[in-house]
Amino acid sequence: MTDTQMRRAPSQKRSRDRVDAILANATGMIAETGSDALRMSELAQRTGISIGSLYQYFPDKSAIVHALAERCNEDSRACIAEGLSTVTSMEGLAAAFGTLIDTYYAIFLAEPVIRDIWSAVQADGALRAMEVEESRRNGGLLGARLKALRPATDPSKIDATALLVMHLGEATMRLAVSVERAEGDALVEAYKRMAIRELTAL
């Protein structure tokens, strides 16, 4: 939730509460009716503010979707950073990575709205680059660990692999929650095998 996407930095407490309420209601609407059905007028109405006020906090619809996605990203980044923080060996990294994916998958299953928020991001031309940016950040976290564990390996190869593995992790999650549960579980397992094999082969 950077400043740039806020039209006006909320200085009063009421303002901050309103921003939170707006985002909470936006999340609720997306969860209920899908990202395509997010209407600015309805969002204002639900939040109990006027359409004009809504646009004082967010310059446009993109900014709201961006804020929602950024929240998800912050959570996942924290989760990844924490999961990898104690790793000191390649075996440890493999185990931590597996746990990480399981945790991430559990979150996706528990909060399907996350996938809908990502749909909203992809539906918005101005936000599509977010996905790559996020993969890059997550890949950076993984790549840093890998470089420490494999100082002899070409760093650019590590970067490419880390980026790819994290990006495909996201793709796997979205596919897995789009199919029936048992199949999704199998897909996640297959991804874990594949990714860990690739990482340990570095």
Give the list of residues 6+ apart from residue 150 with CB closer than 8 angstroms, or none: 90, 158, 202
User: Could you say which of 36, 74, 82, 91 contacts its own copies (CB under 8 A)?
Assistant: 36
Which one of the spans 4-12, 73-81, 90-98, 184-192 is the region binding DNA (CB under 7 A)? 4-12
Write the interaction track for its own copies spanning residues 75-114; mark x where CB under 8 A is met and - where it is not: ----------------------------------------
Decide if residue 15 touches DNA (CB under 7 A): yes
- Of 52 and 151, which has the nearer Cβ to DNA? 52
Can you tell me the distance from the alpha carbon of 96 to that of 149, in angstroms, rounded to the nearest whole number? 14
The two tokens of residue 154 are 């070409």
Report DSSP letters for 43-93, one per residue: HHHHHTS-HHHHHHH-SSHHHHHHHHHHHHHHHHHHHHHHHHHT--SHHHH
List contacts with DNA (CB under 7 A).
Answer: 8, 10-12, 14-15, 18, 38-41, 49-53, 55-57, 59-62
